[in-house]
Structure 1
Amino acid sequence: MEKRKILFVCPYPFDEAPSQRFRFEQYLSILQKHGYLYRFAPFLNLKAWNILYKSGNSIQKLLWLKISFLKRLVLLCQLRPYHYIFIHREASPIGPPVFEWIIHFIWRKKIIYDFDDAIWLEDPNEKGSWKARIKWKSKVRSICKWSYKVSCGNEYLGEFARKFNNYVIINPTTINTDYHKEMVVSKPNKIVIGWTGTHSTMQYLTPLLAILDKLSEEYDFELRVISNQKPDYDVNYMHFIPWRKLTEIKDLNQLDIGIMPLTDDIWSQGKCGFKLLQYMAIKKPIVASPVGVNKKIIDESQAGFSAESKEEWEKALSELLTDHALRNQLGKNGENYVKNNYSVQSNQETFLRLFSELA
């Protein structure tokens, strides 16, 4: 029997972007074990990825964008062997869905469309800008219509996709608990409140600084920020750690409390709560804004506290800063919940169902 072939069409190089790593890259070995062959086709190569989101280098950026579009055109001539075309977010970051249209209408290939954010909405940071216009957000609706199946990170995203496609699978962003787990590390002599994420989500941390300033007058703690860019503010209790793949688990294990503040808007409703899952997988208690799937995760896991108001944030953090036994118990609750509900192992059958034939 001929092995089924999957082409993964995605924005970023392999093993570089969290959305790709935790949505499908960590399942590639499982696909191989089940008899699938695959090819990885990112829009950006590593050189382009390393300069595109940094300031300056405008000429080089334009050159790499041209090269990336040319590679996509070449790819369109190489689709014949593939049974499924798995598209994560989009085939190209700007412009209309030309590649997806050709894949569906010319090649008649089965598209599996995957996304883990409300990518049909304008990013609040870019609203009304030229960046928002060239991203062509309306294409998400079209790609959903043309897809064989749609893979969504949570129910909110799934509700949107079901308006355009009858075959929507809620495929949560998951943790590889064999790799992402508690480990013994050397720690500071103070409690560490931690936040991890990319520079694009750092805006959610800023409103919390006034609360942390107040708490720092009473408690001796450290705010540890793990990100690809340093925050544009500096406070005496903050310690910045550049995100590195090789040390990410060690760095996370140095935290005592994990936080995930969000604004309550339609963009944040699409978030998949991944920061919380990272903290919980390594037995860290959590405090988070009860927005979107965050509320479900906190309520079901009993791994921490929801906090909306300044008073709720202050109360939750104060309790965790002073109660070691509580931190341990909530941490154990979170670890068990992730293993049973948001691990690669627990979600394996759901992921494989994306590539099964419709009845």
Structure 2
Amino acid sequence: MHRKKILFLLPYPLHKAPSQRFRVENLLFLLDGKFEYELSTFLSEDDWKILYQPGHHVQKALGIARGFLRRAALVLFGSFRYDYIFIHREAAPLGPPVFEYILARILRKKYIFDFDDAIWIPNTSAQNKIASRLKCFWKIRPICRWAHRVSAGNDFLVNYAEHSGRKTPATRIPTVVNTETRYNRIKQHQEGRVVVGWTGSHSTLKFLEPLMPVIQRLQKECDIDFLVIADKKPDLPLSDWQFCPWNEQTEIEDLLKIDVGVMPLVHDAWSEGKCGFKLIQYLSLGIPAVANSVGVNKLIVEDGINGFLADDDDRWYLSLKQLITDASLRKRMGESGRAKMVAGYSISSQSEAFLGLFS
């Protein structure tokens, strides 16, 4: 029997970016025996290594150019071999949606568009300030409109896609973890020194800044450590804290060092587009969390059940102190969070929706 073929157009090298890992790479096993598929990444390993480093302008430009050439050759001369094209975030990081237009309007290919951030809103950092001028943020609307299917990580993103002029509904598929394999361990909460922790990428480190006065206050009153797991070491105004470089191989062990997870955000449209993945990671491992009540955080965190929602310094302080000083509360909330993640934010809970995109 002929199996349909899928081409995945991915922005990053494999095993590097959380969004791509958890929304695409970790779901591929669901296709085994049902579809044939191939992966194509825009950036090479070498290009990725220098992408967020200062300088290297010529090398970065050459890397982007090589990515465009590879993608153009594949779209123009290779896409005919596939029944579906799956595009995560965008077919190319810069410029207008040329490849999406060619696939949908000229070659009449069915492409599935998947995104988990409000990527139509400029979010410029010092590292990408120049490139952001070439991003063409407006292109996300037509990409959604032309797509055969759209997979979005939360209702805010689904609503954006459905107001793009497309004729069929978008599918809400939250970012998920495999609670049966990698995320099958549960934090054992005990008395003693407590670790408050945060995990994320360099682009979201800025959200830690407003939380620092609260952590400073808590460190004067409680026996706590503050742990940051990231791909870049921040400069924090704390006397006692630890940095753990993110590593895929030790990811679970590092997360399990955390007793209370935090996810600070600001109340704006860009934060509304976030899919709460930090919270999903914490709760899946039985770690209670404290987060701002913005966007999907309000759906993931049930205030007082599996964590707390906090929007000012006093609320952050009281919520964290309650969890820091009560191991039984951490255990109870962690168990509740774990159950919720298994029910709605695990691969098994979303496998049918994912496979339904290829129809």
Does structure 1 residue 266 correspond to structure 2 residue 276? no
- Mapped contact 1:181–1:249 kept (Cα < 8 A): no
Deviation, structure 1 residue 181: 3.1
**Partner of 1:153 in structure 2?**
153
SS of the residue corresponding to residue 12 of structure 1 reads coil
Q: How is 1:330-349 mapped onto 2 (pairs within 5 angstroms)?
A: 330-349=333-352
Does structure 1 residue 67 correspond to structure 2 residue 66? yes
**Partner of 1:213 in structure 2?**
216
- Hey, what's the Cα distance between the residues in 2 that align with 1:342 and 1:4? 27
**Partner of 1:174 in structure 2?**
176
- Hey, what's the Cα distance between the residues in 1 that align with 2:339 and 2:223? 30
Q: Please tell me the residue identity of whatever aligns with 1:175.
A: V
Deviation, structure 1 residue 131: 3.3
**Partner of 2:14 in structure 1?**
14
SS of the residue corresponding to residue 205 of structure 1 reads helix
Q: Please tell me the residue identity of whatever aligns with 1:334.
A: G
SS of the residue corresponding to residue 225 of structure 1 reads strand
**Partner of 2:315 in structure 1?**
312
- Hey, what's the Cα distance between the residues in 2 that align with 1:338 and 1:180? 10
- Mapped contact 1:197–1:226 kept (Cα < 8 A): yes
**Partner of 1:58 in structure 2?**
57
Q: Please tell me the residue identity of whatever aligns with 1:213.
A: Q
- Mapped contact 1:183–1:250 kept (Cα < 8 A): no
Q: Please tell me the residue identity of whatever aligns with 1:280.
A: L
Tell me whether 3-12 or 62-71 shows the greater mean CA deviation: 62-71
Q: Please tell me the residue identity of whatever aligns with 1:26.
A: N
- Mapped contact 2:11–2:43 kept (Cα < 8 A): yes
Q: How is 1:19-30 mapped onto 2 (pairs within 5 angstroms)?
A: 19-30=19-30
Deviations 1:300-321 (A, max 9, x none): 8921000001110000011011
SS of the residue corresponding to residue 349 of structure 1 reads helix
- Mapped contact 2:290–2:320 kept (Cα < 8 A): yes
Q: Please tell me the residue identity of whatever aligns with 1:51.
A: I
Deviations 1:133-179 (A, max 9, x none): 21100110111111101110000000000012223100110011121
- Mapped contact 2:189–2:259 kept (Cα < 8 A): no
Gaps of 5+ in 1: none
- Mapped contact 1:150–1:161 kept (Cα < 8 A): yes
User: Structure 1 187/70 Cα, relative in aligned 2: closer, same or farther at 3 Å?
Assistant: farther
User: Structure 1 319/185 Cα, relative in aligned 2: closer, same or farther at 3 Å?
Assistant: closer
Does structure 1 residue 44 correspond to structure 2 residue 73? no
Q: Please tell me the residue identity of whatever aligns with 1:48.
A: D
- Hey, what's the Cα distance between the residues in 1 that align with 2:189 and 2:63? 42
**Partner of 2:4 in structure 1?**
4
Deviations 1:47-75 (A, max 9, x none): 11111111122221122111111111211
Deviation, structure 1 residue 105: 1.6
Identity within the alignment, %: 43
User: Structure 1 246/234 Cα, relative in aligned 2: closer, same or farther at 3 Å?
Assistant: farther
Deviations 1:13-39 (A, max 9, x none): 112111011112111111113x10111
Q: Please tell me the residue identity of whatever aligns with 1:320.
A: L
Deviations 1:248-296 (A, max 9, x none): 0000001100000000000000000110010001100110001000011
User: Structure 1 187/62 Cα, relative in aligned 2: closer, same or farther at 3 Å?
Assistant: farther
TM-score by length of structure 1 reads: 0.95
Tell me whether 177-186 or 192-201 shows the greater mean CA deviation: 177-186
Deviation, structure 1 residue 184: 7.4
Does structure 1 residue 191 correspond to structure 2 residue 194? yes
**Partner of 1:96 in structure 2?**
96
User: Structure 1 332/193 Cα, relative in aligned 2: closer, same or farther at 3 Å?
Assistant: same
Tell me whether 192-201 or 64-73 shows the greater mean CA deviation: 64-73
User: Structure 1 156/19 Cα, relative in aligned 2: closer, same or farther at 3 Å?
Assistant: same
- Mapped contact 1:149–1:354 kept (Cα < 8 A): yes
TM-score by length of structure 2 reads: 0.95
Q: Please tell me the residue identity of whatever aligns with 1:176.
A: N
Q: Please tell me the residue identity of whatever aligns with 2:171.
A: I
Deviation, structure 1 residue 297: 1.0
- Hey, what's the Cα distance between the residues in 1 that align with 2:189 and 2:39? 38
SS of the residue corresponding to residue 65 of structure 1 reads helix
- Hey, what's the Cα distance between the residues in 1 that align with 2:329 and 2:189? 21
- Mapped contact 1:191–1:256 kept (Cα < 8 A): yes
**Partner of 2:325 in structure 1?**
322
In the comparison of the two structures, how many residue pairs are matched? 354
Aligned-residue CA RMSD in angstroms? 1.9
Deviations 1:169-210 (A, max 9, x none): 001100111212326799996200000000100111111001
Deviation, structure 1 residue 106: 1.8
Q: Please tell me the residue identity of whatever aligns with 1:170.
A: R
